[in-house]
Amino acid sequence: MLDLTFIREHAELLQRTADRKGIAVSIPALLKQDMLRKALLQEVEQLRAQRNRRTEEIAARFRAPGARESQAAAAGVEAAKREVRAVNDRLAVLEGQLAEVTAEWRSLLALVPNPVSPDTPDGRSDADNVELRRVGEAPAFAFEPLDHVQLGERLGMLDLARGVKLAGTRSYVLKGIGSRLHRAVQQLALDALERRGFTPLEVPTLVRGEAFAHTGFFPLGRDQTYALAEDDKYLIGTSEVCLVSYYAGEIVELEQPIRLAAATACYRSEAGSAGRDVHGLYRVHQFAKVEQVIVCRADEALADALLHEMTANAEEILRLLELPYRVVAVCAGDMSQKTHKQFDIETWMPSRGAYGETHSSSNVLDFQARRAGIRYRDADGALRFAYTLNNTAVATPRILIPLLENHQREDGSVYVPLALRPYLGGAEEILPF
Which residues are the active-site residues? Answer: 268, 283, 357, 360, 398
R_g of the chain computed on alpha carbons: 29
CA angle, corner 10, sides to 8 and 15, nearest 5? 100
First to last CA, the chain: 52
How would DSSP label each residue in 171-219? --EE-THHHHHHHHHHHHHHHHHHHTTPEE----SEEEHHHHHHTT-TT
Reduced to 3 states (helix: H, G, I; strand: E, B; else coil), residue 158 is: strand
Cα-based angle 210, 216, 222 (whole degrees, multiple of 5):
70
Residue 101's H or E segment, with its range, is: helix 71-109
User: What phi and psi values does residue 38 have, to the nearest 5 degrees?
Assistant: -65, -40
Return the half-sphere exposure (C-beta side, CA atoms, 13 A cut-off) of residue 5: 0
Distances (CA, A) of 388 to 31, 194, 341, 362, 367: 27, 19, 12, 9, 8
Residue 328 forms beta bridges with which residues? 131, 344
Closest C-alpha among 266, 275, 286 to residue 217: 266
Bridge partners (DSSP) listed for residue 325: 135, 347
Phi and psi at residue 240, in whole multiples of 5°?
-50, -40
Rounded distance between C-alpha atoms, residue 208 and residue 58, angstroms: 47
What is the Cα–Cα distance from 20 to 340, expressed in whole angstroms?
12
Asked if residue 406 lies in contact with residue 139, where contact means CB atoms within 8 angstroms, the answer is yes
CA pseudo-torsion sign 358, 363, 369, 371 = negative
